[in-house]
């Protein structure tokens, strides 16, 4: 039986399969008998365990590393306000696999788009994140299915059911970016266009909760998702949405664990999944997370309030998750900007100096890092750098360090222009006077040039800092749990957009206003530059 590799669970309909023939025998009734027999066997056999010498190679340094994007309940999400408390079917499975191989599980959370690059960069051994088993992905990775599923098109309650995807012609549909629904809809559109009909209009959003929100606010007609997720959402949404179609896409039938290509590893992983299936552990997990074949059963009619919930807002505002997120945002911004200032001062001095090779290289540096989008630089340092230098794959290279590194480099390219202008604005007569008094170059910079340049550089520098403070939110793509990442995770869990967005806004504004206030205070110290102020102050 294991040689036929049956789908792990017979739930609803299968999901992201490589449209291959392998799993077409699923409906056979003898399969159920088999499963029942296995349940019995599970009591007799010792608990499924692997032999230590038969570990897959992605179990590394005595640990099993997992990459997951915890915004897809009930597969992988954050349960409760502690952003480190991962939960869901996928997390349970990962834990069980770790136990199976007698190693601790080390999960890493990140944006969906970051999952596969991180797997390639060997930052994690496997990806379990509600990802479907699909032919396209199998070209670069190996996958082992663990849960059946099916695609659903979902619209607001009251929307009439449709018969085929073609009925969505001319309508707007939202999907999560990075998922393969977009490609599927493109194929659908090719057929529509060939038939002379309007295509489906596609919108893509980075998180699943935003996708759902588009339907709730009526911006799009429907969203495409997986049934399992919808079961869970229904609890939060209180029956506001309904399934209007369950299209039969063979490529969307199964959730799978992804690993780097390796036949032996795949075999070992398949064996582990098979063992867990046979002992009924997978179906127990599915039941625990409410993943059930009966669509209608989960349609409860609990009414969710559409009013602004102040209790949620204030508890978010005071939660440790938000405080930690805000602190991380602040710390990474301050550290990055300080580093940027420290490296950009000598750079500015060199760039203001005589033409040389170093000066040209610095000019190139500034052009590159000002030219490339900050998001791209972050993704490059996190995902591409490890492919050139394996040292960046190691555990010390955390998202925090990667963000610090890329934001420092990026910011220095902007700060250097501020510094150059400020240094140039200092009257050359000042250097002459310091020279004539016998001061050394270092003394001149320290006591004469820098204090005067600082006054000129301060307002644009604070501006840069405020801008950087907000730029840190990009670091959520490489899984840094800064303020916006925390917010998104909370929104995915609770669906209370307005309350959590408002709490994040309060934090950002509070930080920005604090620095604007600080700027005013510091500027008051530059009385020497303003005749009137100097006079009133001296009085």
Partner 1 sequence: MQLSTSPDPTARISIRGLSKFYKDYLALDRVDLDVRKGERIVVLGPSGSGKSTFIRCLNRIEPHDSGVLMIDGRVIDDRTDLTALRGSVGMVFQNYNLFPHLSVLDNCTLAPRLVRGVGTSDAEATARRYLSQVNIAEQADKFPIQLSGGQQQRVAIARALCMNPEIILFDEPTAALDPESISGIVGIMRDLTEQGITTVCVTHEMGFARHIADRIVFMDRGAVLEITPPEEFFTAPRTERARTFLAQMIRH
- Residue 449 CA to residue 428 CA, distance in Å, equals 9
Site for partner 1 contains 452 (CB under 8 A): yes
When binding is defined by CB under 8 A, the residue of 284, 338, 391, 534 that contacts partner 1 is: 534
**Strand ranges (E), 48-161:** 59-60, 63-68, 71-72, 76-78, 86-87, 105-109, 126-127, 141-148, 151-156
Taking each helix axis from N to C end, the angle separating 450-471 and 320-352, rounded to the nearest 10 degrees, works out to 140
When binding is defined by CB under 8 A, the residue of 364, 451, 505, 509 that contacts partner 1 is: 451
- Residue 151: beta bridge partners? 226
- Residue 69 CA to residue 80 CA, distance in Å, equals 16
Nearer to partner 1 (CB atom), residue 454 or residue 512? 454
Cα angle 466, 472, 476; round to 5 = 155
Q: Which of the ranges 32-40, 74-82, 366-374, 528-536 carries the binding residues for partner 1, by CB under 8 A?
A: 528-536
Shortest distance, position 538 Cβ to partner 1, whole Å: 6
Shortest distance, position 354 Cβ to partner 1, whole Å: 15
The size of the interface with partner 1 (CB under 8 A), counted in residues, is 27
- Residue 156: beta bridge partners? 241
Cα angle 400, 404, 408; round to 5 = 170
Pattern 396-435, partner 1, x by CB under 8 A: -------------------------------x-xx-xxxx
SS in 3 state form for 400-447? HHHHHHHHHHHHHHHHHHHHHHHHHHCCHHHHHHHHHCCCCHHHHHHH
Nearer to partner 1 (CB atom), residue 367 or residue 432? 432
Structure tokens at 365: 């540096």
Site for partner 1 contains 455 (CB under 8 A): yes
When binding is defined by CB under 8 A, the residue of 448, 456, 478, 483 that contacts partner 1 is: 448
Nearer to partner 1 (CB atom), residue 198 or residue 432? 432
When binding is defined by CB under 8 A, the residue of 33, 368, 437, 505 that contacts partner 1 is: 437
When binding is defined by CB under 8 A, the residue of 38, 106, 138, 527 that contacts partner 1 is: 527
Q: Which of the ranges 36-44, 114-122, 209-217, 451-459 carries the binding residues for partner 1, by CB under 8 A?
A: 451-459
Shortest distance, position 219 Cβ to partner 1, whole Å: 56
Site for partner 1 contains 441 (CB under 8 A): no
Sort strands 126-127 and 254-260 into parallel, antiparallel or unpaired.
antiparallel
Sort strands 201-205 and 222-226 into parallel, antiparallel or unpaired.
unpaired
Structure tokens at 4: 């036929």
Site for partner 1 contains 439 (CB under 8 A): yes
Sole residue written with tokens 């602004």: 308
When binding is defined by CB under 8 A, the residue of 25, 49, 197, 447 that contacts partner 1 is: 447
- Residue 500 CA to residue 81 CA, distance in Å, equals 11
When binding is defined by CB under 8 A, the residue of 24, 300, 443, 467 that contacts partner 1 is: 443
Shortest distance, position 501 Cβ to partner 1, whole Å: 45
- Residue 171 CA to residue 194 CA, distance in Å, equals 17
Site for partner 1 contains 370 (CB under 8 A): no
When binding is defined by CB under 8 A, the residue of 21, 196, 436, 521 that contacts partner 1 is: 436
Shortest distance, position 356 Cβ to partner 1, whole Å: 19
Site for partner 1 contains 218 (CB under 8 A): no
Contact (CB, 8 A) for 96 and 146: no
- Write out the DSSP string of 134-146: -HHHHTTEEEEEE
Site for partner 1 contains 395 (CB under 8 A): no
Site for partner 1 contains 538 (CB under 8 A): yes
Residues lying near partner 1 in the complex (CB under 8 A) are found at 427, 429-430, 432-440, 443, 447-448, 451-452, 455, 526-531, 534-535, 538
């Amino acid at each position: 039986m294991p040689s036929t590799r049956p789908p792990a669970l017979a739930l609803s309909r299968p999901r992201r399969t490589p449209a291959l023939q392998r799993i077409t025998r699923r409906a056979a009734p003898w399969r159920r008998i088999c499963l029942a027999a296995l349940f019995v066997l599970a009591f007799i056999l010792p608990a499924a365990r692997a032999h230590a010498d038969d570990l897959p190679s992605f179990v590394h340094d005595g640990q099993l590393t997992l990459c997951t994007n915890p915004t897809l309940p009930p597969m992988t999400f954050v349960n409760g306000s502690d952003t480190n408390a991962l939960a869901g079917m996928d997390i349970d499975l990962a834990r069980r696999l770790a136990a199976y191989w007698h190693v601790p599980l080390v999960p890493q959370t990140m944006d969906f788009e970051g999952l596969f690059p991180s797997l390639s960069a060997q930052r994690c051994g496997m990806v379990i994140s509600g990802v479907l088993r699909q032919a396209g992905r199998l070209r670069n990775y190996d996958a082992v299915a663990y849960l059946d599923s099916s695609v659903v098109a979902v619209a607001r309650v009251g929307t009439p059911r449709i018969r085929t995807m073609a009925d969505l012609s001319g309508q707007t549909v939202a999907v999560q970016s990075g998922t393969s629904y977009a490609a599927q809809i493109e194929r659908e559109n090719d057929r529509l266009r060939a038939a002379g009909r309007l295509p489906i209009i596609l919108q893509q959003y980075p998180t699943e909760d935003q996708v759902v929100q588009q339907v709730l606010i009526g911006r799009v007609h429907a969203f495409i998702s997986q049934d399992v997720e919808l079961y869970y959402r229904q609890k939060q949404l209180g029956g506001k949405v309904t399934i209007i179609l369950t299209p039969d896409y063979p490529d969307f039938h199964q959730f799978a664990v992804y690993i780097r290509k390796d036949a032996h590893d795949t075999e070992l992983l398949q064996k582990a999944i098979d063992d867990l299936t046979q002992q009924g552990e997978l179906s127990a997990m599915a039941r625990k997370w409410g993943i059930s074949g009966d669509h209608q059963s989960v349609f409860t009619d609990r009414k969710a309030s559409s009013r602004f919930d102040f209790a949620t807002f204030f508890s978010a505002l005071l939660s440790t998750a938000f405080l930690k997120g805000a602190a991380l945002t602040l710390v990474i911004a301050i550290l990055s900007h300080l580093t940027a200032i420290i490296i950009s001062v000598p750079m500015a001095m060199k760039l203001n100096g005589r033409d040389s090779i170093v000066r040209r290289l610095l000019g190139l540096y500034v052009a590159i890092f000002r030219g490339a989008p900050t998001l791209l630089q972050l993704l490059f340092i996190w995902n591409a750098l490890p492919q050139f230098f394996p040292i960046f794959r190691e555990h010390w290279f955390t998202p925090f360090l990667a963000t610090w590194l890329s934001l420092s480099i990026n910011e220095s390219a902007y700060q250097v222009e501020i510094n150059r202008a400020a240094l140039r604005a200092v009257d050359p007569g000042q250097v002459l006077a310091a020279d004539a008094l016998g001061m050394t170059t270092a003394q001149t910079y320290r006591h004469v040039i820098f204090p005067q340049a600082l006054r000129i550089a301060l307002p644009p520098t604070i501006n840069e800092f405020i801008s950087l403070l907000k730029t840190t939110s990009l670091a959520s793509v490489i899984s840094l749990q800064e303020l916006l990442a925390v917010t998104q995770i909370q929104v995915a869990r609770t669906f209370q957009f307005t309350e959590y967005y408002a709490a994040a806004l309060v934090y950002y504004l509070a930080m920005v206003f604090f620095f604007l206030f600080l700027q005013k205070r510091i500027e008051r110290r530059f009385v020497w530059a303003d005749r009137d102020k100097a006079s009133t102050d001296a009085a």
